[in-house]
Structure 1
Amino acid sequence: MPSASTRPVAIKIDDATRDRVKRLAEARHRTPHWLMRQAIEEYVDREEKREAFRQDTLKAWNEYQETGLHGTADEVEAWLASWGTDDESPAPEWHK
């Protein structure tokens, strides 16, 4: 999402990459600037989601280390398989 104020930022790329960006921008009827800005936004969005997932995973691992509570793969798979069916199951009870 673009912010209210923008500032120019310079990046250095090799000639081959610059030519590739230019060709792709022409094929898409966009400017190289638009294409690079779009690529950066998509990259940052993806990496923010990846980092949030990593943080959630670390939090879950730490909680498991502290409590020992868990569900087996079979329990969780059976629960997930019931999602969207008429016989949807509640989440399994976590245990040690």
Structure 2
Amino acid sequence: MRAYSALTLVLPVALAALLPVPVAAQSAPQSDADKKAVIQQQKENEDAESLCRVIKDKADYEKCLELYFLDQDQFRAFLDAHKPKPAPKG
């Protein structure tokens, strides 16, 4: 029977200990509810952007977006006040 030195027996174990251990779940997968919430938020963002897009002034545009998420009544009033007026027919 062949005798192994202590280094021969310990070396594979030491090398294995130095290798990174894969993490089974680094981040938990998103649940269906989380995915639906993200999709809903994206839809709301797109809706707000499309409604506020009629406002050309950047500061007013940003205020419009802010009001969309904070107060729907103020948002509607702000949007009505800042809509471009139709050009008079000539």
TM-score (norm 1): 0.31
TM-score (norm 2): 0.32
Q: Which has the larger radius of gyration?
A: 2
